[in-house]
């Protein structure tokens, strides 16, 4: 009798980490999640703490499924961990939301040129990308820079802790602004001109490469009975797209997580002046031969989490007694119709098309009668308005969206999905589970060890429920959208 095989996907986010076990049929088996402490949040992340939380979620899954064939990891990009030859972390990792590398970016642009950067990397120059942070580290933390053996992305660091070598997946390397995406190698010119040593950059691998086997010491700590293979994963957004079956040109994957991100699949490399104007990048997919562009809001789920912590403290305390998810309460309290309240969700700067680290959030229209449910709805509308603007820009760049699949924590709420569908005036195919990132990692591992032949199954295995836009709300949402854009222009003028 054949023995069922099990694979574990890891999704490392900026606010928490998740482990999910799937069987060889792609069926969800179990999952575990941990948030990181955020009381003293300062734009940095403790990679050692992340590893401890990762071990917790993996051990919790191993308590149910102790024999895992393979582990595959996905994580957020841009941020790198400086480690020595022994894998010891030398300094806290600076998150992409930190805006302190503007001077370094300006110097890089003068050395290489913005057009050249877009041509080689597919990215539009911005201080959040890794190369600017490395230049800043070399200037202000020279001892950390000099003692660094390799700069690892967060997924790469977790893989190192699990027993892999010093590597970087290509989709994560592409978020550095120091990677030639068409040649598939580190961009020697920019590293040479900025003085960043090529020797400190890890070996680049592709999604699905076998990069190690978990040693006995780690397996015993996690209560695993065997030694899983470690499979290279990649950047979170391509993995989320794969997890939702977005593998063909025109497929749109709407990731509703900590970051709100709309990922559009392209069949070939594309970078035009209009795309640069709209800040639409060209990045490699984890699916071979495919490329992606992103419409992104850096503070999507973070905005709702912020409202939860400030307006729903009692409900958070009550959770241990009632078991009611606070986000469910927030969605239930939203009014069915827009109140006219405007919420600009740029709490850590704006995403595309502005990519302005100095942009700030704002609220307009509050009265003494404003309810917290109205604030939640206004915040959700603001998030969806930003995504709508990006979809309009994609259309203007001759990048049509054929269909929209949605995944992430936001798909748990039909009411939240309905607000988004009404604003986009598009049908949304929402995943029936919220494991898009870890499911994408599962597909990569499943293909790597021969369980599936190709990624086509990701589309056929995508179980969804369809959310149709309410055409009766199209006119009111159109008015609210243009009020939102006007409000944003006014707020930006105030910041000058």
pLDDT at 101 over 90: no
379-408 burial by CB neighbour count: b if 16+ within 10 A, else e?
bbbbbbbbbbbbbebbeebebebeebbbbb
Average pLDDT score over residue span 173-177: 97
The CA–CA distances, whole Å, from 474 to 49, 111, 257, 418 equal: 46, 48, 25, 12
Out of 27-41, 69-83, 132-146, 474-488, least confident range:
27-41
Beta bridge mates, 291: 266, 284
On average, the pLDDT of the chain sits at 93
Average pLDDT score over residue span 218-237: 96
pLDDT of residue 462: 79
| Tens-digit pLDDT profile for residues 304-319 | 999 999 999 999 999 8
Task: Report residue 11's pLDDT band, with 50, 70 and 90 as the boundaries.
Answer: very high
Backbone angles phi, psi at 42, to 5 degrees: -135, 25
Inter-residue contact 12 to 152 (CB < 8 Å): no
pLDDT at 175 over 80: yes
pLDDT at 171 over 80: yes
| Tens-digit pLDDT profile for residues 20-63 | 999 999 999 999 999 888 655 567 889 999 999 999 999 999 99
pLDDT at 370 over 90: yes
Task: Report residue 259's pLDDT band, with 50, 70 and 90 as the boundaries.
Answer: confident
pLDDT of residue 42: 66
pLDDT of residue 408: 82
Out of 68-72, 141-145, 414-418, 432-436, least confident range:
432-436
Task: Report residue 3's pLDDT band, with 50, 70 and 90 as the boundaries.
Answer: confident
Rounded Cα distance, 276 and 273, in Å:
5
Inter-residue contact 76 to 437 (CB < 8 Å): no
More confident residue, 464 or 182: 182
pLDDT of residue 409: 84
Two tokens at 13?
Answer: 């986010």
| pTM of the predicted model as reported, rounded to 2 decimal places | 0.91
Out of 94-98, 167-171, 207-211, 374-378, least confident range:
94-98
pLDDT at 1 over 60: no
pLDDT at 452 over 90: yes
**284 DSSP 8-state letter:** E
pLDDT of residue 323: 87
């Amino acid at each position: 009798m054949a023995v069922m095989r099990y694979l574990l996907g890891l999704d490392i986010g900026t606010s928490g980490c998740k482990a999910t076990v799937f069987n060889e049929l792609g069926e969800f088996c179990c999952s575990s999640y941990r948030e990181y402490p955020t009381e003293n949040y300062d734009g940095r992340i403790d990679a050692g703490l992340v590893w401890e939380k990762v071990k917790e979620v993996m051990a919790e899954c191993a308590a149910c499924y102790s024999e895992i064939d393979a582990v595959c990891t996905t994580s957020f990009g841009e941020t790198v961990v400086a480690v020595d030859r022994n894998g010891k972390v030398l300094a806290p990792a600076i998150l992409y939301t930190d805006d302190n590398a503007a001077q370094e970016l300006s110097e890089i642009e003068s050395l290489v040129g913005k057009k050249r950067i877009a041509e080689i990397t597919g990215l539009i120059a911005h201080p959040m990308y890794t190369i600017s942070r490395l230049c800043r580290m070399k200037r202000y933390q020279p001892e950390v820079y000099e003692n660094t053996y390799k700069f690892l992305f967060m997924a790469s660091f977790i893989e190192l802790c699990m027993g892999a070598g010093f590597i970087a997946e290509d989709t994560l390397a592409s978020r550095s602004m120091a990677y030639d995406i068409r040649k598939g190698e580190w961009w020697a010119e920019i590293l040479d001109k900025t003085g960043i040593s090529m020797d400190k950059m890890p070996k680049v691998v592709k999604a699905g490469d076998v990069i190690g086997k978990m040693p006995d010491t780690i397996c015993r700590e996690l209560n695993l009975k065997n030694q899983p293979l470690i499979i290279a994963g990649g950047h979170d957004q391509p993995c989320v797209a794969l997890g939702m079956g977005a593998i063909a040109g025109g497929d749109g994957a709407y990731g509703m997580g900590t970051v709100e991100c709309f990922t559009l699949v392209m069949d070939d490399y594309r970078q035009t002046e209009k795309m640069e104007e709209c800040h639409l990048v060209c990045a490699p997919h984890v699916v071979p031969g495919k490329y992606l562009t992103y419409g992104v809001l850096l503070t999507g789920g973070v905005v709702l989490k912020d409202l939860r912590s400030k307006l729903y403290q009692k409900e958070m305390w009550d959770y241990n007694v009632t078991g009611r998810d606070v986000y469910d309460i927030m969605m239930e309290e939203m009014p069915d119709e827009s109140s006219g309240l405007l919420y600009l969700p740029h709490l850590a700067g704006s995403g595309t098309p502005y990519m302005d680290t100095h942009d700030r959030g704002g609220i307009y229209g509050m009265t003494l009668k404003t309810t917290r449910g109205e604030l939640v709805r206004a915040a959700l509308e603001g998030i969806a308005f930003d995504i709508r603007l990006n979809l309009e820009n994609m259309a203007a760049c001759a990048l049509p969206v054929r269909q929209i699949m949605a995944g992430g924590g936001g798909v748990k709420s039909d009411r939240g999905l309905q607000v988004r569908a009404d604003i986009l005036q598009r049908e949304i195919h929402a995943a029936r589970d919220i494991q898009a990132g870890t499911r994408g990692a599962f597909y990569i591992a499943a293909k790597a060890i021969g369980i599936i032949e190709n990624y086509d199954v990701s589309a056929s295995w995508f179980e969804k429920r369809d959310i149709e836009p309410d055409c009766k709300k199209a006119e009111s949402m159109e008015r609210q959208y243009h009020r939102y854009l006007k409000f944003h222009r006014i707020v930006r003028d105030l910041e000058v």
